[in-house]
Amino acid sequence: MMEIRPILSTLRRHRVILWLLMLEIALSCAIICNGVFLVVQRMQHMDMPSGIAEHELVQIQQAPITPPPDRYARAQEDLATLRQIPGVQAVGMTNQVPFGGASSNGNVMLSPTQPHRTLSAAEYFGENLVPTLGLHLIAGRTLRPDEYVKVDMVIKALADGSSKGFPMPMLVSQALATRLWPQQSPLGKLLWLAPTASFRVVGVVATLARANAYNTATAQYSMIIPLHMGADKDQSYLLRTRPEDRQRVLAAARTALEHADPGRVVTHARTYDEIRSDYFKDDHAMAGMLVSVIVAVLLVTGLGIVGLASFWVAQRRKQIGIRRALGATRADILHYFQTENFLIVTFGIVIGMVLAYGLSLWLMMHYELPRLPLSYLPIGAVALWLIGQAAVLGPALRAANVPPVVATRSV
C-alpha cells in the first residue's frame, strides 16, 4: 500500500495547480454526468413505441388541382386503385400518423357539462386503420364499415348543436383507457369531445402514439373515430407491404394515383421509417452533439493532465533521483504518480458530484428536464478515473525511468 501522507504534503506545496486541476475535473464531471443523462433521455425519447408496423408501411399524400366533385367518392376510388397494386397487403386512410408532426387533437371530457377538459388526446379519423397500421386489438371489437359517417354530417350536426348520430363508436388506446377509467373495463364507457358530441368505446388497441408526442406521459393518448374524411391534401393513404417491397409499392402507388387523375399533385410519397426519423431528427442531432461534447471534455481534461503531470515530473527529476538512490524501485515511483493522480481526480470528483447536482437543478429550472438520478454520478467518476490514469501513465513511466544517478548531479 502506497503511503499517502508524503503525496498530500507535496500537493500542499502546489496548491494553485492542484486547485486548477481539481476544478477542471469537477467541471468535467458535472458536464459528463448531466451530458450522459441527457443523451440517455434523448435515446429513450427516440425509442418511443408507435404501436404500428413501422417497417411495413408507406405513406402517400396527394392534393387535387381543383377539388373533386365528390371528395368521398374520390377517396373510395383511390383506395380501390391502391388495393390493386401487387404486393399491397392492406390499404388505409388517415388524417395523421404517429410522429407525423401535423396533428389533430380533441379535448376529452367525461361528462358533457364539466367545466374543464379532462385531457387532450389524438383524434385518428380514417378507414381500415387497425389492419393497415397493424394495431393490436386487446379488448372489444374493431370498427365496422357501416359505422362510418361522412365528416360533413358531423360538422353540420355540431354546428346545429344536434346530438343526432351520437354517441358514435370509437376505439381508444390502452394508455388513454387506463388514464380515464383506472381499474375499470373501458368497453361501453362514454366520453365527450364537444358538449353535444358523445362517443362510446367499443374496442381498445394496445399502443398508438400521437402525431406530436412531445410529452412522454401523454404520448400514447389516442382515439380512432369512424369518419369518412374524403380526399384532400391533409389525408394520407397508407399502404402495408413487405419491407423489401416498399420502394416498388411507393412508385407504383404514385403512378396509379397520377394515372387515375392527371389533374393532381402527389405531395408526399415516403416510407414510414422516413417519417419517424424526420420527427426525431432534432433529438438525434442533439444526442450527437452531447456525445461529442462529452468526448471532447474527456480529451481536453486528459491532455491537461498529461501536460501538468509532465511538468511535475520534470520539476521533480532531482527528488525522484534521490528517492531512487535511496532504494525506491521503479514501481514505487510509478505508483507514486498514479496514486497522486488518483487522489487529485478523486478530490475533483467529490466537488464535481456537488456541481453536477447543482447543474441539474439549474437545468430543471430553465428547461423541462427531470432531476439527475443519483445513479448517473458514478458514470462521471469512473470515466474521469480511467482518463486520469490513462493520461498520467506516460509521464509516470518517464518518471520511473529517471536514473538514480540524477541525484548526484547538479543541474
Partner 1 sequence: MFAYYLDLALRSFKRHKTLTALMVLAIAVGIGASMTTLTVLHVLSGDPLPGRSGELYYPQIDPQDARGMMPGHLPPDQVTLIDGMNLLRAKRADRQALMEGGSVPIQPDSSSLDPFYVEARYTTADFFAMFDAPFLYGHGWTGASDEAHARDVVITRQLDDRLFNGADSTGRALRIGGSTFRIVGVLDTWRPNPHFYDLDTGAYDYYEQVFMPLQTALELHFDRNGSVDCWGNGTGGVEGGAYPSATCAWLQFWVQLDSPAKAAAYKTFLVHYSEEQKALGRFERAPNVRLDNLMQWLDYNGVVPDDVRLQAWLAFGFLLVCLINTVGLMLAKFLRRSGELSVRRALGASRCALFAQLLTESGVIGIAGGAGGLLLALFGLWMVRHRTSDYAPLAHLDPAMLGVTFALALGASLLAGILPAWRACHVAPALQLKSN
Query: How many whole angstroms separate alpha carbon 238 and alpha carbon 52?
Result: 12
Instruction: Tell which one of 53, 91, 180, 197 touches partner 1 (CB under 8 A).
Output: 197
User: Rule CB under 8 A: which of 129-148 touch partner 1?
Assistant: none
- Choose the stretch contacting partner 1; rule: CB under 8 A; options: 44-52, 178-186, 359-367, 401-409: 359-367
Three-state DSSP class for residue 54: helix
Instruction: Tell which one of 144, 242, 255, 311 touches partner 1 (CB under 8 A).
Output: 311
List the x/- string, 237-276, binding to partner 1 by CB under 8 A. Answer: --------------------------x-x-x---------
Query: How many whole angstroms separate alpha carbon 270 and alpha carbon 197?
Result: 35
Decide if 28 contacts 352 (C-beta within 8 A): yes
Name which of 163 and 178 has its Cβ closer to partner 1.
Answer: 163
Give the bridge partners for 125, in sequence order: 225
- Choose the stretch contacting partner 1; rule: CB under 8 A; options: 58-66, 183-191, 215-223, 400-408: 58-66
317 binding partner 1? (CB under 8 A): no
User: Rule CB under 8 A: which of 362-401 touch partner 1?
Assistant: 363, 366-368
234: number of Cβ within 10 Å: 12
Q: Is 100 exposed, middle or buried, given 0-12, 13-18 or 19+ CB atoms closer than 10 A?
A: buried
- Choose the stretch contacting partner 1; rule: CB under 8 A; options: 82-90, 113-121, 325-333, 371-379: 113-121
45 binding partner 1? (CB under 8 A): no
352 binding partner 1? (CB under 8 A): no
Decide if 387 contacts 32 (C-beta within 8 A): no
Residue found under cell 388497441: 205
Instruction: Tell which one of 40, 63, 187, 256 touches partner 1 (CB under 8 A).
Output: 63
Decide if 135 contacts 90 (C-beta within 8 A): no
20 binding partner 1? (CB under 8 A): yes
Instruction: Kindly calculate the radius of gyration of the chain based on its CA atoms and give it in whole angstroms.
Output: 33
Minimum CB–partner distance for residue 54 and partner 1 (Å): 19
Backbone angles phi, psi at 134, to 5 degrees: 75, 35
Q: Can you say whether the dihedral through the CA atoms of 175, 179, 180, 185 is positive or negative?
A: positive
Query: How many whole angstroms separate alpha carbon 263 and alpha carbon 64?
Result: 6
Q: Which residues contact 315 (CB under 8 A, 6 or more apart)?
A: none
Name which of 47 and 368 has its Cβ closer to partner 1.
Answer: 368
Residues at the contact surface with partner 1, assessed by CB under 8 A: 16-17, 20-21, 23-24, 27-28, 30-31, 35, 38, 63-67, 71, 104, 115-117, 151-152, 154-155, 158-159, 161, 194-197, 229-230, 232-234, 263, 265, 267, 278, 281-282, 285-286, 289-290, 293, 296-297, 300-301, 303-304, 306-308, 311-312, 314-315, 363, 366-368, 411
